Amino acid sequence: MRETDGLIDLRSDTVTKPTPEMRRAMAEAEVGDDVLGDDPTVRQLEELAAARVGKEAALFVPSGIMANLVSLLTLTGRHDEVIVGDQSHIYTSEVGGLSLLGSVFLHVLPNQPDGTIPLERLRGAIRNQVYTPRTRVISLENTHNRCSGAVLPMEYLYAVAEVAKANGVMLHLDGARLFNASVALNVPPEEIAKPFTVVNFCFSKGLGAPVGSIVCGERAFIQEARRTRRMLGGGMRQAGVLASACIVALNTMVERLAEDHALARQLAEGLADISGVQIDPARVQTNIVIFGIDPTTGWDAPRLLERLKAEGILLSLSGTRLRAVTHYGITPRDIDRTLAVLRQILQGRP
Protein backbone atom coordinates (compact mmCIF):
# COMPACT_ATOMS: atom_id res chain seq x y z
CA MET A 1 0.00 0.00 0.00
CA ARG A 2 1.36 3.39 -1.01
CA GLU A 3 1.10 5.76 1.96
CA THR A 4 3.43 8.55 1.08
CA ASP A 5 2.56 9.86 -2.39
CA GLY A 6 5.73 9.56 -4.39
CA LEU A 7 7.95 9.52 -1.32
CA ILE A 8 9.86 6.48 -0.12
CA ASP A 9 9.67 7.03 3.60
CA LEU A 10 12.19 4.83 5.41
CA ARG A 11 12.62 7.14 8.41
CA SER A 12 10.77 4.83 10.78
CA ASP A 13 8.05 2.19 11.04
CA THR A 14 6.09 4.81 13.00
CA VAL A 15 5.16 6.57 9.73
CA THR A 16 2.69 3.76 8.99
CA LYS A 17 -0.89 4.94 8.79
CA PRO A 18 -3.93 2.98 9.99
CA THR A 19 -5.17 0.30 7.59
CA PRO A 20 -8.74 0.53 6.21
CA GLU A 21 -9.75 -2.21 8.66
CA MET A 22 -8.35 -0.16 11.54
CA ARG A 23 -10.26 2.91 10.35
CA ARG A 24 -13.48 0.91 10.29
CA ALA A 25 -12.85 -0.54 13.75
CA MET A 26 -12.11 2.96 15.07
CA ALA A 27 -15.33 4.35 13.62
CA GLU A 28 -17.41 1.57 15.14
CA ALA A 29 -15.59 1.09 18.47
CA GLU A 30 -17.69 0.72 21.60
CA VAL A 31 -16.30 3.20 24.10
CA GLY A 32 -16.65 4.48 27.65
CA ASP A 33 -14.57 6.46 30.14
CA ASP A 34 -11.48 4.29 30.52
CA VAL A 35 -10.20 6.23 33.54
CA LEU A 36 -13.39 5.10 35.28
CA GLY A 37 -12.81 1.59 33.93
CA ASP A 38 -15.79 1.74 31.55
CA ASP A 39 -14.24 1.33 28.12
CA PRO A 40 -15.01 -2.19 26.91
CA THR A 41 -12.68 -1.94 23.91
CA VAL A 42 -9.69 -0.94 26.03
CA ARG A 43 -10.46 -3.78 28.41
CA GLN A 44 -10.65 -6.19 25.48
CA LEU A 45 -7.29 -4.97 24.18
CA GLU A 46 -5.67 -5.25 27.60
CA GLU A 47 -6.88 -8.82 27.99
CA LEU A 48 -5.83 -9.76 24.48
CA ALA A 49 -2.36 -8.21 24.89
CA ALA A 50 -1.77 -9.78 28.31
CA ALA A 51 -2.73 -13.20 26.95
CA ARG A 52 -0.52 -12.72 23.89
CA VAL A 53 2.57 -12.25 26.07
CA GLY A 54 1.54 -14.72 28.76
CA LYS A 55 1.05 -12.16 31.57
CA GLU A 56 -1.88 -11.74 33.96
CA ALA A 57 -2.86 -8.20 33.10
CA ALA A 58 -2.02 -5.19 30.95
CA LEU A 59 -2.38 -1.41 30.85
CA PHE A 60 -2.90 0.65 27.69
CA VAL A 61 -0.75 3.79 27.52
CA PRO A 62 -0.29 6.54 24.90
CA SER A 63 3.34 5.86 23.90
CA GLY A 64 6.34 3.58 24.20
CA ILE A 65 8.19 6.14 26.29
CA MET A 66 5.29 6.30 28.72
CA ALA A 67 5.22 2.49 28.77
CA ASN A 68 8.88 2.45 29.83
CA LEU A 69 8.24 5.17 32.40
CA VAL A 70 5.14 3.51 33.85
CA SER A 71 6.93 0.14 34.00
CA LEU A 72 10.11 1.37 35.64
CA LEU A 73 8.62 4.05 37.92
CA THR A 74 6.25 1.40 39.27
CA LEU A 75 9.07 -1.07 39.92
CA THR A 76 11.47 1.38 41.59
CA GLY A 77 11.77 4.02 44.28
CA ARG A 78 14.24 6.62 45.52
CA HIS A 79 17.85 5.33 45.79
CA ASP A 80 17.15 2.57 43.27
CA GLU A 81 18.88 2.12 39.95
CA VAL A 82 18.01 0.48 36.67
CA ILE A 83 20.71 -1.15 34.56
CA VAL A 84 20.36 -0.25 30.88
CA GLY A 85 22.55 -0.50 27.79
CA ASP A 86 24.35 2.58 26.49
CA GLN A 87 22.53 2.13 23.16
CA SER A 88 19.11 1.61 24.75
CA HIS A 89 16.19 3.82 23.81
CA ILE A 90 15.72 4.55 27.51
CA TYR A 91 19.24 5.97 27.80
CA THR A 92 19.60 7.61 24.38
CA SER A 93 16.13 8.89 23.54
CA GLU A 94 13.90 9.48 26.55
CA VAL A 95 15.25 12.79 27.87
CA GLY A 96 16.46 11.18 31.10
CA GLY A 97 12.83 11.11 32.23
CA LEU A 98 13.16 8.13 34.55
CA SER A 99 15.85 9.84 36.63
CA LEU A 100 14.08 13.17 36.55
CA LEU A 101 10.66 11.87 37.56
CA GLY A 102 11.61 8.97 39.80
CA SER A 103 14.90 9.90 41.52
CA VAL A 104 16.09 6.66 39.94
CA PHE A 105 19.61 6.23 38.59
CA LEU A 106 20.42 4.80 35.20
CA HIS A 107 23.40 2.47 35.55
CA VAL A 108 24.65 2.36 32.00
CA LEU A 109 26.64 -0.58 30.61
CA PRO A 110 27.96 -0.87 27.05
CA ASN A 111 25.81 -2.73 24.55
CA GLN A 112 27.59 -5.14 22.23
CA PRO A 113 26.81 -4.65 18.52
CA ASP A 114 24.30 -7.52 18.83
CA GLY A 115 22.27 -5.61 21.43
CA THR A 116 23.35 -7.73 24.40
CA ILE A 117 25.17 -6.60 27.54
CA PRO A 118 27.78 -9.23 28.54
CA LEU A 119 26.63 -11.36 31.47
CA GLU A 120 29.79 -10.76 33.49
CA ARG A 121 29.28 -7.00 33.15
CA LEU A 122 25.70 -7.37 34.42
CA ARG A 123 26.78 -9.57 37.31
CA GLY A 124 29.55 -7.17 38.29
CA ALA A 125 27.31 -4.12 38.12
CA ILE A 126 24.58 -5.25 40.52
CA ARG A 127 25.04 -3.53 43.88
CA ASN A 128 23.22 -2.95 47.14
CA GLN A 129 25.59 -1.46 49.71
CA VAL A 130 24.83 1.21 52.24
CA TYR A 131 26.94 3.63 50.16
CA THR A 132 25.52 2.74 46.70
CA PRO A 133 22.20 2.98 44.94
CA ARG A 134 20.32 -0.31 45.03
CA THR A 135 20.04 -2.21 41.75
CA ARG A 136 16.36 -2.99 41.32
CA VAL A 137 15.86 -3.75 37.66
CA ILE A 138 17.79 -4.84 34.59
CA SER A 139 16.12 -3.48 31.46
CA LEU A 140 16.74 -5.10 28.07
CA GLU A 141 15.57 -4.02 24.62
CA ASN A 142 14.32 -6.56 22.04
CA THR A 143 14.54 -5.99 19.15
CA HIS A 144 17.35 -3.54 19.73
CA ASN A 145 16.64 -0.34 17.81
CA ARG A 146 20.11 1.26 17.71
CA CYS A 147 21.81 -2.11 17.23
CA SER A 148 20.21 -2.37 13.77
CA GLY A 149 17.10 -4.14 15.02
CA ALA A 150 19.10 -7.00 16.56
CA VAL A 151 17.14 -9.87 18.11
CA LEU A 152 18.43 -10.97 21.50
CA PRO A 153 19.08 -14.74 21.53
CA MET A 154 16.68 -16.77 23.71
CA GLU A 155 19.58 -18.38 25.62
CA TYR A 156 20.79 -14.89 26.48
CA LEU A 157 17.39 -13.89 27.91
CA TYR A 158 17.33 -16.95 30.13
CA ALA A 159 20.93 -16.41 31.24
CA VAL A 160 20.15 -12.80 32.21
CA ALA A 161 17.06 -14.01 34.08
CA GLU A 162 19.33 -16.35 36.08
CA VAL A 163 21.63 -13.46 36.99
CA ALA A 164 18.67 -11.30 37.96
CA LYS A 165 17.05 -14.03 40.05
CA ALA A 166 20.26 -14.95 41.84
CA ASN A 167 20.63 -11.31 42.87
CA GLY A 168 17.02 -10.44 43.70
CA VAL A 169 16.78 -8.05 40.74
CA MET A 170 13.73 -7.71 38.48
CA LEU A 171 13.81 -7.90 34.70
CA HIS A 172 12.07 -5.42 32.37
CA LEU A 173 11.73 -5.68 28.61
CA ASP A 174 11.43 -2.64 26.38
CA GLY A 175 9.77 -4.73 23.70
CA ALA A 176 8.72 -1.84 21.46
CA ARG A 177 9.31 -4.30 18.58
CA LEU A 178 8.70 -7.53 20.51
CA PHE A 179 6.68 -8.97 17.62
CA ASN A 180 9.53 -8.37 15.19
CA ALA A 181 11.69 -10.49 17.49
CA SER A 182 8.98 -13.14 17.70
CA VAL A 183 8.56 -13.33 13.91
CA ALA A 184 12.32 -13.29 13.26
CA LEU A 185 12.96 -16.13 15.73
CA ASN A 186 9.71 -17.95 14.99
CA VAL A 187 9.23 -18.10 18.76
CA PRO A 188 5.86 -17.14 20.31
CA PRO A 189 5.89 -13.74 22.07
CA GLU A 190 5.02 -15.32 25.43
CA GLU A 191 8.22 -17.37 25.27
CA ILE A 192 10.24 -14.20 24.78
CA ALA A 193 8.30 -12.43 27.54
CA LYS A 194 8.49 -15.29 30.04
CA PRO A 195 11.75 -14.41 31.85
CA PHE A 196 10.62 -10.78 32.37
CA THR A 197 8.73 -9.34 35.34
CA VAL A 198 7.28 -6.63 33.10
CA VAL A 199 7.10 -6.34 29.33
CA ASN A 200 5.95 -3.45 27.19
CA PHE A 201 5.41 -3.21 23.47
CA CYS A 202 4.22 -0.70 20.86
CA PHE A 203 1.25 -0.93 18.50
CA SER A 204 2.37 2.22 16.70
CA LYS A 205 5.52 0.88 15.03
CA GLY A 206 5.48 -1.94 12.48
CA LEU A 207 2.05 -3.09 13.66
CA GLY A 208 0.69 0.08 12.07
CA ALA A 209 -1.77 1.37 14.69
CA PRO A 210 -1.93 5.17 14.93
CA VAL A 211 -1.26 5.46 18.68
CA GLY A 212 -0.60 3.24 21.64
CA SER A 213 1.64 0.99 23.70
CA ILE A 214 0.97 -1.47 26.47
CA VAL A 215 2.52 -2.55 29.76
CA CYS A 216 2.07 -6.21 30.77
CA GLY A 217 2.76 -7.94 34.08
CA GLU A 218 1.19 -9.40 37.21
CA ARG A 219 -2.24 -8.16 38.24
CA ALA A 220 -1.03 -6.42 41.42
CA PHE A 221 1.73 -4.69 39.47
CA ILE A 222 -0.75 -3.46 36.84
CA GLN A 223 -2.95 -1.98 39.60
CA GLU A 224 0.02 0.04 40.81
CA ALA A 225 0.98 0.89 37.23
CA ARG A 226 -2.48 2.42 36.83
CA ARG A 227 -1.61 4.94 39.57
CA THR A 228 1.69 5.73 37.85
CA ARG A 229 -0.05 6.28 34.52
CA ARG A 230 -2.51 8.61 36.25
CA MET A 231 0.37 10.57 37.79
CA LEU A 232 1.98 10.99 34.37
CA GLY A 233 -1.28 12.25 32.92
CA GLY A 234 -1.58 9.20 30.70
CA GLY A 235 -5.14 8.21 31.62
CA MET A 236 -7.30 8.50 28.51
CA ARG A 237 -11.07 8.69 28.38
CA GLN A 238 -12.89 7.17 25.35
CA ALA A 239 -9.64 5.46 24.41
CA GLY A 240 -11.48 2.57 22.80
CA VAL A 241 -11.29 4.54 19.55
CA LEU A 242 -7.52 3.99 19.70
CA ALA A 243 -7.58 0.55 21.30
CA SER A 244 -9.82 -0.79 18.50
CA ALA A 245 -7.05 -0.09 15.97
CA CYS A 246 -4.55 -1.82 18.27
CA ILE A 247 -6.77 -4.93 18.38
CA VAL A 248 -6.78 -5.00 14.57
CA ALA A 249 -3.00 -4.53 14.66
CA LEU A 250 -2.54 -7.56 16.91
CA ASN A 251 -4.92 -9.67 14.87
CA THR A 252 -3.82 -8.75 11.35
CA MET A 253 -0.38 -7.12 11.31
CA VAL A 254 1.95 -9.48 13.16
CA GLU A 255 2.68 -12.24 10.65
CA ARG A 256 3.26 -9.79 7.82
CA LEU A 257 6.27 -8.35 9.71
CA ALA A 258 8.22 -11.10 7.92
CA GLU A 259 7.75 -9.07 4.71
CA ASP A 260 9.39 -6.05 6.35
CA HIS A 261 12.29 -8.24 7.41
CA ALA A 262 12.70 -9.57 3.87
CA LEU A 263 12.80 -6.01 2.50
CA ALA A 264 15.38 -4.98 5.10
CA ARG A 265 17.47 -7.98 4.04
CA GLN A 266 17.14 -6.97 0.38
CA LEU A 267 18.26 -3.45 1.29
CA ALA A 268 21.17 -4.61 3.47
CA GLU A 269 22.50 -6.99 0.83
CA GLY A 270 22.17 -4.35 -1.87
CA LEU A 271 23.97 -1.81 0.30
CA ALA A 272 26.82 -4.23 0.93
CA ASP A 273 27.45 -4.19 -2.84
CA ILE A 274 27.71 -0.41 -3.07
CA SER A 275 31.20 0.99 -2.83
CA GLY A 276 31.48 3.52 0.00
CA VAL A 277 28.75 1.96 2.15
CA GLN A 278 29.83 0.40 5.45
CA ILE A 279 27.52 -2.39 6.54
CA ASP A 280 27.62 -5.96 7.79
CA PRO A 281 24.40 -7.36 6.29
CA ALA A 282 24.53 -10.32 8.70
CA ARG A 283 23.66 -7.84 11.47
CA VAL A 284 20.30 -7.09 9.86
CA GLN A 285 17.82 -9.54 11.36
CA THR A 286 14.56 -7.58 11.37
CA ASN A 287 13.33 -4.32 9.84
CA ILE A 288 16.07 -1.83 10.77
CA VAL A 289 19.10 -1.22 8.57
CA ILE A 290 21.88 1.00 9.93
CA PHE A 291 24.89 1.77 7.75
CA GLY A 292 27.93 4.04 7.66
CA ILE A 293 29.47 6.02 4.81
CA ASP A 294 33.18 5.74 4.08
CA PRO A 295 34.55 9.30 4.53
CA THR A 296 36.89 8.84 1.54
CA THR A 297 33.79 9.09 -0.69
CA GLY A 298 33.61 12.74 0.36
CA TRP A 299 30.09 12.12 1.73
CA ASP A 300 28.88 12.00 5.30
CA ALA A 301 25.53 10.85 6.70
CA PRO A 302 23.84 14.27 7.11
CA ARG A 303 24.77 15.40 3.60
CA LEU A 304 23.68 12.10 2.08
CA LEU A 305 20.40 12.35 3.98
CA GLU A 306 19.70 15.73 2.38
CA ARG A 307 20.68 14.54 -1.08
CA LEU A 308 18.41 11.47 -0.81
CA LYS A 309 15.58 13.68 0.39
CA ALA A 310 15.89 15.70 -2.81
CA GLU A 311 15.26 12.42 -4.66
CA GLY A 312 12.16 11.70 -2.56
CA ILE A 313 13.83 9.10 -0.36
CA LEU A 314 13.66 9.72 3.37
CA LEU A 315 16.06 8.08 5.84
CA SER A 316 17.03 9.12 9.35
CA LEU A 317 20.28 9.53 11.26
CA SER A 318 21.47 7.07 13.91
CA GLY A 319 24.46 8.79 15.48
CA THR A 320 26.93 9.34 12.64
CA ARG A 321 25.30 6.66 10.48
CA LEU A 322 22.14 6.39 8.40
CA ARG A 323 19.06 4.38 9.35
CA ALA A 324 16.39 2.90 7.10
CA VAL A 325 13.36 1.12 8.57
CA THR A 326 11.05 -1.03 6.45
CA HIS A 327 7.29 -1.26 7.04
CA TYR A 328 4.06 -2.07 5.24
CA GLY A 329 4.18 1.14 3.17
CA ILE A 330 7.39 0.00 1.44
CA THR A 331 7.57 -2.23 -1.64
CA PRO A 332 10.44 -4.24 -3.18
CA ARG A 333 10.53 -1.63 -5.98
CA ASP A 334 11.07 1.11 -3.39
CA ILE A 335 14.11 -0.78 -2.15
CA ASP A 336 15.42 -1.20 -5.72
CA ARG A 337 15.01 2.51 -6.34
CA THR A 338 16.66 3.45 -3.04
CA LEU A 339 19.66 1.27 -3.90
CA ALA A 340 19.92 2.62 -7.45
CA VAL A 341 19.76 6.24 -6.31
CA LEU A 342 22.27 5.69 -3.53
CA ARG A 343 24.68 3.94 -5.88
CA GLN A 344 24.46 6.82 -8.31
CA ILE A 345 24.91 9.50 -5.64
CA LEU A 346 27.97 7.80 -4.14
CA GLN A 347 29.62 7.58 -7.56
CA GLY A 348 29.77 11.36 -7.64
CA ARG A 349 31.35 13.84 -5.23
CA PRO A 350 29.20 15.97 -2.94
Ligand X SMILES: *Cc1c(COP(=O)(O)O)cnc(C)c1O
Handedness of CA 5, 8, 12, 16 (dihedral sign): positive
3-state secondary structure of 173: strand
Q: Are strands 105-109 and 57-61 parallel, antiparallel or unpaired?
A: unpaired
How many Å separate Cα 128 from the centre of its chain?
30
Cβ 88 to ligand X shortest distance, Å: 7
Tell which one of 80, 174, 260, 334 touches ligand X (CB under 6 A): 174
Q: Are strands 321-325 and 316-318 parallel, antiparallel or unpaired?
A: antiparallel
**Cβ distance to ligand X smaller for residue 116 or 145:** 145
Check residue 204 for interaction with ligand X (CB under 6 A): yes
Going from the C-alpha of 204 to that of each of 32, 100, 152, 214, 216, the distances in angstroms are 22, 26, 21, 11, 16
**Cβ distance to ligand X smaller for residue 141 or 259:** 141
Cβ 61 to ligand X shortest distance, Å: 9
- Contact 185/48 with Cβ under 8 angstroms? no
Cβ 145 to ligand X shortest distance, Å: 4
Check residue 213 for interaction with ligand X (CB under 6 A): yes
Going from the C-alpha of 80 to that of each of 67, 100, 101, 104, 200, the distances in angstroms are 19, 13, 13, 5, 21
Tell which one of 150, 151, 178, 202 touches ligand X (CB under 6 A): 202
Cβ 307 to ligand X shortest distance, Å: 26
**Cβ distance to ligand X smaller for residue 12 or 299:** 12
Instruction: Show contacts with ligand X in window 138-167 (CB under 6 A).
Output: 141, 145
Instruction: Show contacts with ligand X in window 57-116 (CB under 6 A).
Output: 63-65, 68, 89
Cβ 283 to ligand X shortest distance, Å: 17
**Cβ distance to ligand X smaller for residue 197 or 318:** 318
Instruction: Show contacts with ligand X in window 287-346 (CB under 6 A).
Output: none
Check residue 13 for interaction with ligand X (CB under 6 A): no
**Cβ distance to ligand X smaller for residue 111 or 145:** 145
Counting every residue, how long is the chain?
Answer: 350
Cβ 97 to ligand X shortest distance, Å: 10
Cβ 239 to ligand X shortest distance, Å: 15
Site size for ligand X, by CB under 6 A? 12
- 41 Cβ neighbours under 8 A, 6+ residues apart: 29, 30, 31, 239, 240, 241, 243, 244, 247
- 76 Cβ neighbours under 8 A, 6+ residues apart: 82, 102, 104, 136, 137
- 245 Cβ neighbours under 8 A, 6+ residues apart: 18, 22, 23, 25, 26, 203, 209, 210, 211, 212
- By the criterion CB under 6 A, which residues form the site for ligand X? 63-65, 68, 89, 141, 145, 174, 176, 202, 204, 213
